[in-house]
Amino acid sequence: MSQALDENKIGGLGVSRKRVEDNRFIRGRGNYTDDIVLPGMLHMEILRSPLAHARIKSIDTSRAWEIPGVRLVLTGEMAATRNLAWMPTLSYDTQAVLATDKVRFQGQEVACVVADDPYIAKDACEAIDVEYEPLPVIVNPEQAVAEGAPLIRDDKAGQADNVVYRWEVGDQAGTDAAFEHAAVVSKLRLHYPRSHPSPIECCGSVADFDRATGKLTVYMTTQAPHIIRAAVAMVAELPEHLIRIISPDIGGGFGNKVPVYPGYVCSILCSILLERPVKWIEDKTGNLISTGFARDMYLDGELALRADGKILGVRMHAEADHGAFFADAQPSKFKIGLLHSTFACYNVPAAHLTARGTYTNKAPGGVAYRCSFRVTEAMFFQERMVHQAAKDLGLDPAEFRRRNFVRADAFPYRTPFGFLVDSGQPEACLDVGLKAVGYEDFLRQKEEARRRGRRLGIGISTMTEPLGAGNSREYDILGIKMFDSAELRVHMTGKALLRVGAKSQGQGHETTWAQIVSHELGIPADDVTVEEGDTDTAPFGMGTYASRSTPVAGAAISMVSRKIRAKARKLAAHLLEVSEEDLEWELGRFSVRGVPEHGVTIQECAMAAYGNMPDGMEPGLENHAYYDPPNLTWPFAVYIVTVEVDPETGVWDVLNTVAVDDCGVRINPMIVEGQIMGGLTEAYAMANMQFITFDAEGNCVGSNYMDYLLPTAWETPGFELHSEVVTPSPHHPIGAKGVGECAAVGGPAAFVNAVMDALDDTGVRNIDMPLLPDRVWEALTQHHDVS
């Protein structure tokens, strides 16, 4: 008789286990960077530039120094004496820590003050007198490359223009040939506006340099503590063993907390200079105007089409606005991120992509906000182009997609841009989505409503995206390969401590990682403590972004658990006095083959590892695993949105949103659903209301929550989620694929396509996001595209 454990009862794979971290979060007992209070701690505030582009003629700090309680007023000139006025970015560029020569965007860090409390520091910042000489301002790529444009990066030797890079991929000749044979060429010019992740918690750090031990400890809001340690080691020229980066609880990251920011560096430098702990906590405006934003990309896209709807070729040119410093945290090899992951779920014979990045007088960044290294732009452009191509051909957009999908039996499929898409069931997912939304029925309603002057629309977005960077052949940041890690200690009673190189910002890792251990070893999830975010204790990992944690760190957790199981097997053989080959594993227990009642539990094996190991065996039950994934994971998703547009006002309401996500095996279905709902909310926000724009002087419009609109529960529509289709990743140890970003990546196009569909008799091909009522109204009344 089998005594196998029921995985559902111990919180294993596929269980909607309640989030253990929420116990402290919802009681207000989280431990965030601002909760860290150290003896003798001082407070730092940053003075930011009011101008977007200006030469600094002088900085006079004398009035600030006179304010009682001020301990240090730091300028770029002083930082320069320590070689810290500039720092390297994660994309092999340089970024000013504190401006010395010029300011290059509004909100740039110019000086900082350390004082006994943050209010004194803030007041003292206002007492710093900076004399600026304004320069002409550049706020978009077109201006950046125009004749006679002022040179933004005159600090860089050999930089003669405002171009950061030119990049291309694909087959130009083959694509040109495809266009020659096209019956129809469908063209679209699109802009994905700048937006911001805007986590509830802004960025911050508490730097604590101890002169006596020489050790620097920094508590900070980072999604990637080990990358920060490497960066600090390089910039501050401190050895790594004397640097400890601790990322405590994080109040949302969304990619905003990957880059290295001047505030972090300044707090470290100030702590070293003052030999006191220094805390810096950014305010909301500082966060919105100076830290890693998202998107800001223009596209010229063309599809070569056969009359029956077959896509023959894709041509794309992208212009990316990187702001004043190229600071993207992304794989070094790919200058415009993974934009070339576009069209991966469609069978496209030929494709060519060119891209240009430009410097502008705006904050640096671009890779953030559930973007998977710009897959968000890739899928938005793709699905807008696909929608328009179907309309140009007079085909049904669902049918057009179906005709072009890579078929389920055609995987692994190599895209013309070189990605190997290894699995997926596009058609099956689309079927589920169309049925759920009642597609045919809605099309009839739409026609009927149109006759009565009402405008209904339906928008589809289907996509697969590469998640889980990544295999070390292709993916690195600053030369460090993008593997990840886990370390597992099973104590003698069978309880365990799991340490992981990723770092949750709210995704629920403490809950889900324990479930993987539980699935592999049969140790109840409640018996596994998960720790992340401390470089002195966690194994080296590249952190959490690009939905890589499950694909990479999650795989490492499986692998380390299997190493533990292999040793437990030896212990079980010893305890049961049989050879290892005679043992059978069932969840949580080894038994003698053919004699199931004769067995030992994993907990008994653990005890033996400390009290009764065979001769010659090393005691203990601990191990670690570093995991270098063979490929990315390829989740597939279908998002379908129905809307009604009010022709009088341009206001549109979402009637229904259906999401079909196939992210392979789900570790915790409830958490996955939370991730999808969050992503859909962001998708809706970007389509409907959310963007940061700049006036001609480079003033940021979107520096506060009056101008930058976050949807509340009131505006956010309801979502219907589906999980019927499950295609396990063929290489991930438990078949899981990443999911954290999917809905934010694929969602926006579904909302926009729905509104465009409601306008499909007006001749309007595009309205740029966000589809604000006035833009929609203009398109409706003037019958032209609106950007």
Q: Which residues are catalytic?
A: 223, 370-371, 741
From the CB of 253, what's the least distance to ligand CUN, in Å? 6
Minimum CB distance to ligand CUN smaller for 253 or for 424: 253
Do 352 and 314 form a contact (C-beta atoms < 8 A)?
A: yes
For ligand CUN, which is the closer residue by CB, 544 or 642? 544
By CB under 6 A, tell whether 505 contacts ligand MCN.
yes
Instruction: Fill in the per-residue mask, 522 to 561: x = in contact with ligand MCN (CB under 6 A), - = not in contact.
Output: ----------------------xxxxxxx-----------
Which among 163-171, 420-428, 622-630, 664-672 is the span making contact with ligand MCN, rule CB under 6 A? 664-672
320: tokens are 């990316």
Q: Which of residues 691-750 bind ligand CUN (CB under 6 A)?
A: none
Starting at the earlier edge strand, list the strands of the sheet with 102-103: 102-103, 54-60, 129-134
DSSP for 59-80? EE-HHHHTSTTEEEEEEHHHHH
User: Per CB under 6 A, which of residues 355..384 are in contact with ligand MCN?
Assistant: 370
* 32 DSSP 8-state letter: B
**Pairing between β-strand 622-627 and β-strand 484-490 as defined by DSSP bridges:** antiparallel
Region 733-752 residues binding ligand MCN, contact defined as CB under 6 A: 736-741
As measured in angstroms, the least distance from the Cβ of 278 to ligand CUN is 27
Give the nearest distance from C-beta 379 to ligand CUN in angstroms. 13
Check if the beta carbon of residue 270 is closer than 8 Å to that of residue 112.
yes
Please pick, from the candidates 345, 546, 571, 767, the single residue that binds ligand CUN as defined by CB under 6 A.
546
Q: Which stretch binds ligand CUN (CB under 6 A): 179-187, 270-278, 362-370, 455-463?
A: 362-370
Question: Which position among 179, 293, 545, 691 is part of the footprint of ligand CUN (CB under 6 A)?
Answer: 545
Least distance in angstroms from the C-beta of 543 to ligand CUN: 9
Residue 367 binding target from ligand MCN, ligand CUN, none, CB below 5 to 8 Å by type: ligand CUN
Stretch of 370-378, 405-413, 419-427, 590-598 contacting ligand CUN, by CB under 6 A: 370-378
User: Would you list the DSSP string of 192-261?
Assistant: E--B----SS--EEEEEEETTTTEEEEEE--S-HHHHHHHHHHHH---GGGEEEE--B-S--TTTTSS--
Query: Contact 180/239 with Cβ under 8 angstroms?
Result: no
Q: Is residue 5 part of the contact set for ligand MCN (CB under 6 A)?
A: no
Q: How far apart are CA 318 and CA 339, in angstroms?
A: 9
- Contact between residue 232 and residue 271 where contact means Cβ atoms under 8 Å apart: no
* Sign of the alpha-carbon dihedral angle for 403, 407, 410, 416: positive
User: Rule CB under 6 A: is residue 192 a binding residue for ligand CUN?
Assistant: no
Class of residue 712 by CB neighbours under 10 A (exposed 0-12, middle 13-18, buried 19+): exposed
| Overall size of the chain counted in residues | 787
Q: Least separation, in Å, of the C-beta of 254 and ligand CUN?
A: 6
Buried b / exposed e across 457-475, counting CB within 10 Å, b at 16+? bbbbbbbbbbbbbbbeebb
**CA neighbor of 542 nearest in space, from 507, 502, 504, 487:** 502
- The dihedral formed by the CA atoms of 592, 596, 600 and 602, expressed in degrees to the nearest 10: 100
Among 507, 561, 681, 703, binds ligand MCN (CB under 6 A): 507
Q: Which one of residues 250, 368, 559, 609 is an interface residue with ligand CUN (CB under 6 A)?
A: 368
Stretch that binds ligand MCN, among 140-148, 238-246, 312-320, 505-513 (CB under 6 A): 505-513
Minimum Å distance from CB 553 to ligand CUN?
Answer: 14
CB nearer to ligand CUN: pick between 679 and 702? 679
The interface with ligand CUN within residues 226-285 (CB under 6 A) comprises 253-255, 258
Residue 739 near which of ligand MCN, ligand CUN, none (CB within 5-8 Å, type-dependent): ligand MCN
Tokens of 594: 């053919």
Q: Collect all residues with Cβ–Cβ distance below 8 Å to 14 and sequence separation of at least 6.
A: 7, 8, 665, 666, 667, 668, 669
**Distance separating alpha carbons of residues 278 and 276, to the nearest angstrom:** 6
Q: Are strands 589-592 and 583-586 parallel, antiparallel or unpaired?
A: antiparallel
Applying CB under 6 A, does 371 fall inside the site for ligand CUN?
A: yes
639 near ligand MCN, rule: CB under 6 A: no
Closest residue to ligand CUN in the complex (CB): 255
Tell me the number of residues near ligand MCN by CB under 6 A. Answer: 34
* Residue in 204, 263, 506, 629 binding ligand MCN, rule: CB under 6 A: 506
Using CB under 6 A, list all residues that contact ligand CUN. 223, 253-255, 258, 367-372, 545-546
Using CB under 6 A, list all residues that contact ligand MCN. 252-255, 370, 505-509, 512, 544-550, 663-668, 671-672, 675, 678, 736-741
